[in-house]
Amino acid sequence: MHSSLPKVLHELAGEPLLGHVISVAKSLVQTRGGRIRVVTGHGSDQVDPFVIAQGAEVVHQHDQLGTGHALQIAMDGLASGGQTLVLYGDVPLISEEDIAPLLAAGESDLAVLTAVVSDPAGYGRIVRDGAGNVISIVEHRDASENERAISEVNSGIYAAPTSLFQDLLPRLTNGNAQNEYYLTDCVHHSVASGREVHAVEGAVTATMGVNDRQQLAELNQLLQKKRRQALMMAGVTLVDPDTVYLNGSDIHIQPDSIIEPNVTLNAPVSIGSHVTVGFGSHLTNVVIGDNTVVKPYTVAESASVGTNAQVGPFTRLRPGTELSDATHVGNFCETKNAKVGEGSKINHLSYVGDAVVGKRVNIGAGTITCNYDGAYKHQTTLGDDVFIGSNTSLIAPVTLGDGVTTGAGSVITTDVEPQNLALTRSKQITIAAYQRPKKTKD
């Protein structure tokens, strides 16, 4: 990957590669029971905290002596009962649908997930006898020319009774081009002991790993396409599907909503019905209610928007923004840590931060809540039916009661009682026949 970040922590569709695999494992554990152990080696100082945060156990492989050695370490101290499933942190598109038949085949014998691919270069080959029975798996580096012509490849994903793995693993040797203990050799030893090996053919995507950034991009396109198709089948319109990016699995959009081109959604995202998300919008950790219009080039993060609201175009909703029903936040406006009441409008060129805004408030163009004094943040509170004139500066902490009006261009520094007008406009001076300065030619 040519990166300081360990490969399994590179993100695929908004989540680390390893996160995709752990997520599948968690789902299996919920339905079947068991535990998840992740073997880490290179970059463990970065990988281990992620694994622990996901609720899985960490097992260290201090010397990278191959996949067979890694599984030996992972199984250290396990009882002999039950079944063991082997997954890989850089094979992220594996699904429960792929795994279910593998687990069924591996209840009493060794089972391996395979796929038939058009370009098997780099993969271990599944070698069968004349009767079609699996007799071995040969790594690409160790394969003969005839073996390299085989198109059925090993995914590296196995299932078997735990006791069988405990019997097979001590038999592994490192007499190969890599001087490593190959997990694939379990197939040979299982056959040699008279046991059957089951090859379960799965989807090609289940075997696809990531070894460079090009492969990462290719898998991202596959996963994005799958997520887009699922949304459209559920009744969501994607105007130009190939330009919509869905990062993270926790993205839920109700039917009859429309997602315009070049939109990025970063989970968690919850969007109601009959919502339009406009061209070029970028939404992260948002909740949007029914019948709301998000106009083009809106950027929102850790924010919520009610029903029948309008946001954008060119609006930024920063963390802590809570827009109630029927609110409007418009052109080149920014909000942060602001609760905006039902029916209130912030339509043009305004910044509202650390504020509580009541119902039916109109905030004029160019209004700023001056919330930071250089050391601390302070709150602005506006009651219901407040009308803020254009270019008003509200110097927090300050509270304006219900029905207050401020004059355009005012700087409000003290609280205003309900129904009052507050303005700090200096008297206009007019100079008759004023001559502007002019440049001289020299």
Mind telling me the catalytic residues?
348
Cβ pair 210, 221 in contact under 8 A: no
Contacts of 176 (CB under 8 A, 6+ apart): 139, 141, 142, 182
Cα of first residue to Cα of last residue in the chain, in angstroms, is: 63
Instruction: For residue 260, give the nearest of 282, 283, 277 by alpha carbon.
Output: 277
Cβ pair 38, 89 in contact under 8 A: yes
Burial class for 369, CB neighbours closer than 10 Å (0-12, 13-18, 19+): buried
Residue carrying structure tokens 């009744």? 235
Instruction: For residue 7, give the nearest of 119, 122, 124, 88 by alpha carbon.
Output: 88
- Long-range (24+ apart) CB contacts under 8 A made by 94-99 are 94/21, 94/24, 94/155, 94/157, 94/206, 95/24, 95/203, 95/206, 96/24, 96/27, 96/28, 98/157, 98/202, 98/203, 98/206, 99/24, 99/28, 99/157, 99/159
**CA distance linking residue 133 with residue 137, whole number of Å:** 12
Q: Which two tokens stand for residue 181?
A: 């203990």
